[in-house]
Amino acid sequence: MARRVAIGNNKGGAKKSTTAVRLAEALAKRGRRVGVLDLDPQGNASRRLGWTDNPEAPALTTSEAIEANAEGVAAQVWQPIGWQAEYADRISLMPARFTLEDRASEAGKTGAWRRLAKALKGADDHLDYVLIDCPPSLGHLTQMGLAAAHCALASTEPEYDSVEAAVRYRDFVTNSGDDLGNPELRFLGIVVSGYDMRVGAHVGQLGGVRQIFGDGVWGVVPRRALIANADEYAQPLSEVADSHEVRAVFELLAERFEKEVPAA
């Protein structure tokens, strides 16, 4: 079984999807086989990985994997990504489209919160890691993700509301393992992303994050237009000019990741 890590924050725009996609990229470059499981009906991670749906023959997505309510069904949903980079074939995608929203309204169905874990049973043995890109909520979709995950990682912008929402995510993870039938669930740490040292509030908030999370601060990703552009144009960072500094930051994050979450 792959080690599954749910990347979350209770606020939108906290760089969750960028953290998931770029960590997957850096881990794949290090030779790891990584699944990106898009658990957000916005489908941002899917699109940024170059995935496009075919309206003539719509692909299976996270939504169908959950809906099927059957053990191991997710094995049929992993797909190659659209990038051409030489390490791209080590990244698999469980894509999402807006219909995943329908699953969110089924929280009342018997055992609904276990359905993703059920779908993944035996369905990620070919991978080292699965990174679960959660929506900006602590609602049913995120709870399904946490019920299926071994650990949780937060990402945050260095801004008050985002940090406060990351603390809510941490506390939710720490307190909900038993309720989610996943008592081993562990909170790992936090990635601060979009940091601009010219912004006084960012400097202050980074200090606050370090006080709150201590050694759990895995890294600080600077605010760089090239990251937003690479996401916008669905590009791997290896294709982006002048991306050395940024790639080095994500490579360090991947190193920490491998240390904290040893592959099985």
194: CB partners within 8 A, 6+ apart: 15, 157, 158, 221, 222, 223
122: CB partners within 8 A, 6+ apart: 1, 71, 72, 75
| Contact pattern from residue 2 through residue 41 relative to Mg ion, giving x for each residue in contact according to CB under 5 A and a dash for the rest | --------------xx------------------------
> Can you state the angle between helices 225-232 and 16-29, rounded to 10 degrees?
90
What span, in angstroms and rounded, lies between the C-alpha atoms of 221 and 213?
A: 16
Dihedral, 254, 258, 261, 264 alpha carbons, nearest 10: 130
What span, in angstroms and rounded, lies between the C-alpha atoms of 185 and 173?
A: 7
Of the ranges 60-68, 111-119, 178-186, 225-233, which one interacts with ligand ATP (CB under 6 A)? 225-233
Report the residue number, 6 or 73, with the smaller CB distance to ligand ATP. Answer: 6
Smallest gap from Cβ 100 to ligand ATP, in A, equals 12
- Report 9-28 residues binding ligand ATP (CB under 6 A): 12-18
Count of residues engaged in binding ligand ATP, rule: CB under 6 A: 19
Smallest gap from Cβ 169 to Mg ion, in A, equals 13
Of the ranges 37-45, 50-58, 123-131, 173-181, which one interacts with ligand ATP (CB under 6 A)? 37-45
Backbone angles phi, psi at 251, to 5 degrees: -65, -40
Can residue 40 be called a binding residue for ligand ATP (CB under 6 A)? yes
What does the binding site for ligand ATP look like in residue numbers (CB under 6 A)? 12-18, 40, 42, 44, 136, 193-194, 221, 223-224, 227-228, 231
